[in-house]
Structure 1
Amino acid sequence: MFHQSWVPGHGSTDYEQYYAAQPGEVYRVTKYQKSYEPYVIMRRDGPPWCDERFVGYGGNKAACLFSIYLSGIDFYVFPDDFLIHQSHPYAEEARKNERKINKQVYDDFRKELCAEQIAESLRINTLHTNDMDNLRVECMKTPGVPEVVLEHLFKVEIEKKGQFVDLIKAIH
């Protein structure tokens, strides 16, 4: 099955929990990965729209879900429901090239989105709130996010945990 062959894209679903779930049980995704790309159900007027800079195969769905996750929306799994994806012809050489290009596009997209959303969150003084937990955690793991932004994020996380540590001084 595909979820076993592409763990970065589907491991966050936690299939052990999925298979063990009781009828009617719904559970929250607790180990988000940047390449997570499940099939989702969402309102048209709800979360941010998906970025359209991706061409061909790879990265577009993960980028869309990354945007949604950074906005503070958590993902939930409905184990009673499933779907079947029907494969379609796609030249492997084209897919390989598009994947390579879109990987760089996705890396750049993540840095850009983190910078934009952190700046906005700082502007409206919400970076320290629980609603911005996903933003802080994921952007701290995103290579290329400017060091000054990371220093601020680390400080917010330390303060949130109630620890009186000036991590910025410890870093330097």
Structure 2
Amino acid sequence: ALVELVKAGKIAMFHQSWVPGHGSTDYEQYYAAQPGEVYRVTKYQKSYEPYVIMRRDGPPWCDERFVGYGGNKAACLFSIYLSGIDFYVFPDDFLIHQSHPYAEEARKNERKINKQVYDDFRKELCTEQIAESLRINTLHTNDMDNLRVECMKTPGVPEVVLEHLFKVEIEKKGQFVDLIKAIH
């Protein structure tokens, strides 16, 4: 019934004009799926904002620094994705968004502010997660695939990682020099 409504133009993807927000769902695959079929999201985008179902005690908590409209849901899902959790689509299920009026001028300003907050958040989260995975020696594992791929696409992160690695190497060399001095 849903596919017929889509074909008839009576229903469409949520925020169809904002593909980064929902395009990773891959609606062509969604509409073509067989009953009971589930598929993994393979083209994650940093602005992806699907409605999700998850365990309350499992994924990371969502960051609370966002105020107003924009970025908060994408940031929450970015955190979850970096933790190694993949997203799956259940084509047998769907939601219908109830349209409602909102003050576009207020949201426009909130989106602008929250875009910068989100960009800073992604850089900070990548830096923290990479540092932690380096500390516990897990950056090379399959569980960290999402972290490596997404953080390498995040502006500012590679420089921060290099600074961190350089600092670690300097500390190691300093410890080595201290050891040599102690021996002699």
Q: TM-score range by the shorter chain?
A: 0.7 to 0.9
**Structure 1: gaps spanning 5 or more residues:** none
Distance 1:62 1:158, change over 3 A: farther
Q: Residue deviations 1:80-135, cap 9 Å, x none?
A: 00001112231000010000000000000000000000000000000000000000
Deviation at 1:155, TM superposition (A): 17
The higher radius of gyration belongs to: 2
Task: Write the distance in 1 (CA, Å) between the matches of 2:150 and 2:100.
Answer: 33
Q: Residue deviations 1:70-89, cap 9 Å, x none?
A: 00000000000000111223
RMSD value, Cα: 7.9
Q: Residue deviations 1:22-76, cap 9 Å, x none?
A: 0000000000000000000011101001000000100000000000000000000
State whether residues 158 and 164 of structure 1, in contact with CA within 8 Å, keep that contact through their aligned partners in structure 2.
Answer: no
Deviation at 1:16, TM superposition (A): 0.4
Task: Write the distance in 2 (CA, Å) between the matches of 1:3 and 1:171.
Answer: 67
Task: Write the distance in 1 (CA, Å) between the matches of 2:181 and 2:128.
Answer: 26
State whether residues 151 and 168 of structure 1, in contact with CA within 8 Å, keep that contact through their aligned partners in structure 2.
Answer: no
Deviation at 1:4, TM superposition (A): 2.4
Deviation at 1:2, TM superposition (A): 2.7
State whether residues 133 and 139 of structure 2, in contact with CA within 8 Å, keep that contact through their aligned partners in structure 1.
Answer: yes
Secondary structure of the equivalent of 1:162? helix
Task: Write the distance in 2 (CA, Å) between the matches of 1:169 and 1:64.
Answer: 49
Task: Write the distance in 2 (CA, Å) between the matches of 1:126 and 1:48.
Answer: 18
State whether residues 37 and 62 of structure 1, in contact with CA within 8 Å, keep that contact through their aligned partners in structure 2.
Answer: yes
Percent identity of paired positions between Structure 1 and Structure 2 = 99
Deviation at 1:164, TM superposition (A): 28
Deviation at 1:11, TM superposition (A): 0.7
Deviation at 1:147, TM superposition (A): 1.9
Task: Write the distance in 2 (CA, Å) between the matches of 1:23 and 1:154.
Answer: 52
When normalised by structure 1's length, the TM-score is 0.85
Distance 1:151 1:95, change over 3 A: same
State whether residues 56 and 95 of structure 1, in contact with CA within 8 Å, keep that contact through their aligned partners in structure 2.
Answer: yes
State whether residues 127 and 160 of structure 2, in contact with CA within 8 Å, keep that contact through their aligned partners in structure 1.
Answer: no
Task: Write the distance in 1 (CA, Å) between the matches of 2:52 and 2:91.
Answer: 13
**Structure 2: gaps spanning 5 or more residues:** 1-12
Stretch of structure 1 that moved more, 150-159 or 124-133: 150-159
State whether residues 39 and 88 of structure 2, in contact with CA within 8 Å, keep that contact through their aligned partners in structure 1.
Answer: yes
Distance 1:113 1:169, change over 3 A: farther
Distance 1:132 1:3, change over 3 A: same
Secondary structure of the equivalent of 1:48? coil
